[in-house]
Structure 1
Amino acid sequence: MGIFKRVKTIVQSDVHGFLDRVEDPINMVKQYLRDLEEQLDRAAEALTQQLLVERKHAVLIEQTEALLAKRSHQAELAVDRGEDAIAQIALREKLILQERLMQYRSQFESLQQQTVQLKEQILQLKQTYDALQAKKHYLISRVQTAEALKSVNNTLYSFDPRQAVRGFARMEEKVWQLEAEATARKQVQSITGPASAGLPQDKLQDSVLLELDALKRQRQERGAQTAVTNV
């Protein structure tokens, strides 16, 4: 294989590979539909021109038939009057008009056949367009489903469950640390806080009051005994 042929093959391969990568299915389907729409528009314009030409030929046939009848009548009148020269002129134009009328009618039949064929082509284009339009939604649905599955697969492929387990373990350990800090702080407050400092003081005060009451009763009893002795 020559070097130029190899280079050509490589270039073609690269170009086709690039086109395969950028050829989006949805965009391509939409473009095909736009192409069909343009063909339908051109076909509609062609049908309009075809019907216009057909109508002109129909009018031309009507006019030629009317003129042919007129020349026939003129020839008959000339013969009745004995005007052979005028009759010959009328008959000559009659023959020419007959030939022309045959051509017009033949052309008109051809135009009608072309109109029928053009309408059939438009109908086929419209059916193809409708079928592709319906298929477009189906393809779009398939593409979206495929892209969703691809995204899920990529996520699953890149997801490492062990990393999540390790992450949960770290979070659990952090929660334990926070709980331990809260418990330690509560215990420290219970030991060093004002409420705990006043607790022994409150118990001592109660003892003091009890001792005071006992002492008062004792003193009252001694006072009563002294008074009895003196009497």
Structure 2
Amino acid sequence: MGIFKRVKTIVQSDVHGYLDRIEDPVNMVKQYIRDLEEQLDRAAEALTQQLLVERKHAALIEQTEALLAKRSHQAELAVDRGEDAIAQIAIREKLILQERLTQYRSQFEALQQQTVQLKEQIVQLKHTYDALQAKKHYLIARVQTAEALKGVNGTLHSFDPRQAVRGFARMEEKVWQLEAEATARKEVQAITSQASGNALQDKLQDSVLLELDALKRQRQEKELKQL
């Protein structure tokens, strides 16, 4: 195999191993959860901005309504006083304000609809997030169980009953050897003790015979003296 082909094989093997690690189900779920957390953070920021714009529009509508009421009142006063020029100016501004108010209210309704949609999206994201969290714990439990079973199966696969039987046979033979050694030592000790006892008895017998000879001589000498 050429050097470049070997390098290509090694690179492919490393890439496949890397992809296998990336495609680990627990890691993938964790990554999805991190992505969802980022989406939830962005959605929360977007909702904050949305509510702020909505609140500003509500304030703008209130201000426009107040100014419109003021211009209407000014137009009425001008008409009552016969000041037509001032009345026309007030009415012109009133019409402009009415058009603006219509636009502001339309925009406000659109903002409210966007807020509702954004809140619905956040709720859906939260449901998906909770479901993936539960899925993560479930997958982790399954992976741990699978790894435990894999370890047990590997242990059982590597276990050879015949080797165990041979091992027990060697142990039994060793026990027999120890028992034989213990029995032999016991018998040797008994034989040694008996031999020591016999030797002691033989030595005592010699002393008895000497003492008997001496006693016989004493008795004979005594009898001779009496004669």
Whether TM exceeds 0.5 here: the answer is yes
Amino acid at match of 1:211: L
Equivalence map 1:83-102=2 (5 Å) = 83-102=83-102
What is the match of residue 207 of structure 1? Answer: 205
Q: What's the CA shift string for 1:35-62, capped at 9, x where partnerless? A: 1111111111110110011011011111
Q: What residue is the counterpart of 1:167 in the other structure?
A: 167
CA distance in 2, matches of 1:210, 1:81: 173
Q: Report how far residue 218 of structure 1 moved.
A: 3.7
Instruction: State TM-score, norm by structure 2.
Output: 0.80
SS in structure 2 opposite 1:204? helix
1:38 counterpart residue number: 38
- 1:205, distance to aligned residue in structure 2 (A): 2.9
What does residue 150 of structure 1 align with? Answer: 150
* Letter matched to residue 82 of structure 2: G
Deviations, residues 89-135 of structure 1 (Å, cap 9, x unaligned): 01100000011001101111111111111111111111111122112
Segment of structure 1 superposing worse, 164-173 or 209-218? 209-218
**Larger CA deviation: 170-179 vs 122-131:** 170-179
1:29, distance to aligned residue in structure 2 (A): 1.2
Displacement of 1:213 after TM fit? 4.9
Which whole-Å CA distance do the structure 2 matches of 1:42 and 1:206 have between them?
114
Tell me the TM-score normalised to structure 1 length. 0.78
The separation in 1 between residues aligned to 2:166 and 2:47, in whole angstroms, is: 74
2:20 alignment partner in structure 1: 21
CA displacement, residues 61-104 of structure 1 (integer Å, 9 cap, x when unaligned) = 11111111111121122112211111100110000001100110
Distance 1:212 1:47 in 2: 129
Aligned 1:107-146 pairs, distance under 5 A = 107-146=107-146
Paired with 1:15 and 1:104, the residues of 2 have a C-alpha distance of: 61
Greater shift in the superposed pair: 154-163 or 117-126 = 154-163
Structure 1 residue 201, shift from structure 2 partner:
3.8
Matched residue SS, 1:162: helix
Cα distance in 2, alignment partners of residues 215 and 18 from structure 1: 106
Please report how far the alpha carbon of residue 188 of structure 1 lies from its aligned counterpart in structure 2 after TM superposition. 6.4
| Residue 155 of structure 1, CA deviation | 2.1
State, as a whole percentage, how many aligned pairs show the same letter. Answer: 74
- Structure 1 unpaired stretches of 5+: 1-13
Q: Where do 1:67-82 residues align within 5 Å?
A: 67-82=67-82
The 5 Å alignment of 1:59-74 reads 59-74=59-74
The one-letter code matched in structure 1 to 2:162 is R
Distance change >3 Å, CA 15–CA 97, structure 1 → 2? farther
Query: Which residues of structure 2 form unaligned runs of 5+?
Result: 1-12
Distance 1:220 1:43 in 2: 135
Q: Which residue of structure 2 aligns with residue 105 of structure 1?
A: 105
Alignment length (residue pairs) = 215
